[in-house]
A = this chain, B = another copy of it.
C-alpha cells in the first residue's frame, strides 16, 4: 500500500513536480512530507514529532525519510516554510487605509499561529537560515502595507512589529492540552480561565496586591483582546506618523 498512484501534481499545488527524470519515480515528495510533518506537530505537539513516527505515519521506512531531507533540522525549516507559505491575506481592496491593511495582516498572522501552533516553537528553537516562502510572505505583506499609504521604511518596521507580536504572542502561552497532564477532558477554555482566576485570587495579598486586585484583567492576558491591543498601538502610531508625513518611525520627540 505504499503506492499512492504516484501522481502528485493532481491539484497543481506544487511547481516542483519531479526533480529529474532519472531512474524511478519517487513515491512521495519533500513537500508532502513537510505538510504531513506539520500536521503531526500541530496535532500532537512538536516534541512528539520524531523521524520514526513521521515515517511510520507516511507508510515508509524510517531511513527513507533521509532520501528527502538530510536531517531533522532540515525538515523543521521546511515546516516553517510550509506554514509561512500558507499565510492567507484577504484580497486587497482598491483604497485600503493603513489601519485596514495593518489589521488584515495582523489577523492573518494570528490565524496562522493559531492554525499552526508548532511553528512558534520551530521559529524560536531554530536559527532559520534562509527560508523560501518567508521571503514571499515578507514581500506580500510589505507590499500590501506600502500600497495602503505607509512609507516603505515604516512599512518594514510595521512588518517586524506584527511578526514579532504574533510570534511572541503564540510563544507566550501555547496552551495546548497535550502540554501538561493527561486530563484531556477537563481542559476546555473556560475551565482553564477559572483555574487561573482562582490562582490569582489565592495569592498572598500583602505580597502580590496588584495581581490579586487585577486578577480579572490578568486572566485576559492570553486572550484576543490583548492581541488586538498591540495591533491598536501600531495602528495609532502609524496613523500619526503618516499624518505627520514622516518617512519612518524614528522616535523623535514631536510637539503636537
Footprint of B on A, CB under 8 Å?
46-47, 120-121, 123-127, 129-130, 135, 138-139, 142-143, 146, 152-153, 155-157, 159-161, 163-169, 171-176, 179-180, 199, 203, 207-211, 213-214, 217-218, 220-221, 225-226, 228-230, 232-234, 236-237, 240, 248-251
Contacts and interface: CB of A to CB of B under 8 A. Distances in A.
19 contacts: A46-B125, A121-B124, A124-B171, A125-B125, A127-B174, A135-B203, A139-B207, A139-B210, A156-B220, A157-B229, A161-B233, A164-B165, A164-B226, A165-B168, A165-B230, A171-B171, A233-B233, A236-B236, A237-B237
A155 to B, nearest CB: 8
A169 B176 contact: no
A154 to B, nearest CB: 9
Contacts of A130: 199
The quantity of this chain's copies bound in the complex is 2
Contacts of A210: 138-139, 142-143, 146, 152
A226 B157 contact: yes
B237 A251 contact: no
